Amino acid sequence: MGHTRLNPSGNKQNSKLSLRTFAENHLEQQLRSHPLLNRRLTPGLTTWFQELAAIADVPPPPGPEPSFDTYVSPALKEENRRASEAYFSAISFYALGLAEEVPKSMQDKLETVMNDRKAELTRTQQAWELGDTAYSQQLETWEAASEEHPQLTEEHRKQIAGFRRRLDKMILIFNENSKYDEDLEPDELDTFRSLDYQRYVPTHSFYNPRVSTGTLFYDFQNNRFQIHFHCDRNDTKARAVRVKLYGEEHGRNFDKAWGLMQHFTKEFPPNWAGVPRPW
């Protein structure tokens, strides 16, 4: 399916307002559905917004600047926010159902709700993107007029260019790491096993003594999969290892992939209690 990639800001964002609007409706908007990147990038992005607001404004060229709210309404923004919260809540309920080994019929119901919430989030994001495209086209026309504005000094251009470079560095970090904050796809499992597993961050750990004579679970709710280490309580040597994508009944046997357990139990000390505990 491919993972989310953001375009750089480009040279069209030549005013404070247009650059801020670009950052709000591309990077900031995507961070709401990427929890790990949100924690990593939001502090720097917040500082960037504050420092951008502090530089002097330039008088606008003749005619009103396009308003983003005309193309992406506040109602849609709120709908997108609620859809994001509902989706991640549904993920948590589904993961808890897997951990408790609820009946397959209940797992199916929880999975249906989770997938419905994901579809709703995707719908609102697509509507947002359509509105943003129309806004960007209108803004480009408005920006062309600002190029000739006598108050748009060379010093101001340099300031804005500096903010564009800083924003693009954050976008580059987002693009390089978005896959580690999105669904692990079935065709990525071999790469995950051999190369990528150290880049993924679990959200919960718990031990269930009733499953397969004892299973230590590492749950990756941001990526919709679990790793099952079959072992005795307080033992970091597994009898078997299994990776199970959400929605799979059995998952994939990763026996002899002992490096997985060594890495995760070292970097994320296991929770041997029966109640899922987040880090």
Q: What is d(CA 162, CA 165) in angstroms, rounded to the nearest whole number?
A: 5
Q: What percent of the chain has pLDDT over 90?
A: 60
Q: Are 29 and 20 in contact (CB under 8 A)?
A: no
Count of alpha carbons within 13 Å of 43, Cβ hemisphere only? 3
DSSP 62-100: SSPPPPHHHHS-HHHHHHHHHHHHHHHHHHHHHHHHHHT
Q: What is d(CA 255, CA 217) in angstroms, rounded to the nearest whole number?
A: 15
Whose tokens are 């199916």? That residue is 108
Q: What is the DSSP letter of 197?
A: G
Q: What pTM value is reported for the model?
A: 0.76
Mean of all residue pLDDT scores within the chain: 88
Q: Are 109 and 96 in contact (CB under 8 A)?
A: no
Q: What is d(CA 188, CA 110) in angstroms, rounded to the nearest whole number?
A: 24
Segment 45-69 shows an average pLDDT of 84
Length of the chain as a residue count: 279
CB atoms within 10 A of CB 11: 10
Q: For residue range 96-117, what is the model confidence (pLDDT) as tens digits?
A: 888 777 888 888 899 999 999 9
Whose tokens are 């999969």? That residue is 225
Of 118-122, 136-140, 269-273, the poorest mean pLDDT is in: 136-140
Using pLDDT thresholds of 50, 70 and 90, give the confidence band for residue 185. Answer: very high
Of 138-147, 180-189, 217-226, the poorest mean pLDDT is in: 138-147
Q: What is the DSSP letter of 76?
A: H
Q: What is d(CA 270, CA 229) in angstroms, rounded to the nearest whole number?
A: 11
Q: Euclidean distance between the first and final Cα of the chain, in Å?
A: 29
Q: Are 38 and 31 in contact (CB under 8 A)?
A: yes
The token pair that represents 189 in the structure block: 């499992």
Distance of CA 92 to the CA centre of its chain: 15
Q: What is d(CA 25, CA 130) in angstroms, rounded to the nearest whole number?
A: 12
Q: What is the DSSP letter of 208?
A: E
Q: For residue range 149-166, what is the model confidence (pLDDT) as tens digits?
A: 555 567 778 889 999 999
Res. 40: pLDDT tops 70: yes
